[in-house]
Amino acid sequence: MTARTQWQIVAGVVLALALGVWAATRFLGDELRQVAVGSTAPAFAARTLEATPRPRTLADYKGKVVLLNVWATWCAPCREEMPSMQALYRDFAPRGFEIVAVSIDQAGDEQKVRDFVQEFGLTFDVLHDPAGEIQRIYATTGVPENFVIGADGVVRKKAYAQDWNSPANRALIARLLDEAGAPPAPSATVQPTTPTAAAPGGDTRMQVEVVPDSEVRAMARAGGAAAATTPTPTPR
């Protein structure tokens, strides 16, 4: 084999690899892109639960500290964590904190989602994505999956079901609101002023998995927070 032939083979292999990378990026871009702590939260679209649904996107919450929750009415861990989300929202909403819960229930189940909202007394934004596009965009592996997004649009925490009204989570939200220059509110302290209600008909215990955040861990140690256990999210 001549040197020229060897170079031709090498060039062919390099070209094939380059084409493969281009094709994977072109056609599987969202599937290959991981939404990790420190990355920019990708845009998504969902719709409201009104009789005449209105589209909502992440851009509607620009400049806000947001807890994005991907969930479904049939998901038991979702039922367990919703009361703690409502308690967290009730205390921090006066500072501009937002919770956006995007249901992936199938088309035609809008009333089920509305009934769920009424059952739990949820006052934060609950949206519907019957096509489940948000799962593809955020590369989720099950429900629930949660993403805390700072006012700068960067993912600060990624977690499965947990007690969102815990001192560690409240400290994280308070810190992000402070960073964003949000006005103080007397009720929004690290220690919960709104207790977490038990999930209707559910278990009040929580299993937790958190993508580590060094500052949150430090706060948890200082506050004597309990060690987290690792759950298995409800598969899609």
Check whether residue 151 and residue 227 sit in a common domain: yes
Please tell me whether residues 83 and 101 are part of one structural domain: yes
Q: Report d(CA 91, CA 10) in Å as an integer.
A: 62
Q: How confident is the model at residue 84 (pLDDT cuts 50, 70, 90)?
A: very high
Average pLDDT of the segment spanning 147-172? 98
- Cβ-contact 65, 186 below 8 angstroms: no
Judge whether residue 210 has pLDDT over 60: no
Residues 176 and 127 in one domain: yes
**pTM for the full model?**
0.75
Whole-angstrom Cα distance, residue 75 to residue 163?
Answer: 16
pLDDT attached to residue 216: 41
Position 111 pLDDT exceeds 50: yes
How does residue 33 score in pLDDT terms, banded at 50, 70 and 90?
low
- The angle at the Cα of 219, spanning 70 to 78, to the nearest 5 degrees, equals 20
* For range 197-201, the mean pLDDT: 79
For residue 167, is the peptide bond before it cis, meaning its omega torsion is within 30 degrees of 0? no
**15 and 89 fall within a common domain:** no
Q: Is the pLDDT of residue 229 over 90?
A: no
Same domain assignment for residues 173 and 207: yes
Both 19 and 101 in one domain: the answer is: no
Q: How confident is the model at residue 18 (pLDDT cuts 50, 70, 90)?
A: low
Calculate the CA 64 to chain-centre distance: 14
The continuous run of DSSP H or E covering 57 comes out as: strand 55-57
Range of the domain at 200: 34-235
pLDDT in the model for residue 14? 63
Same domain, 129 and 198: yes
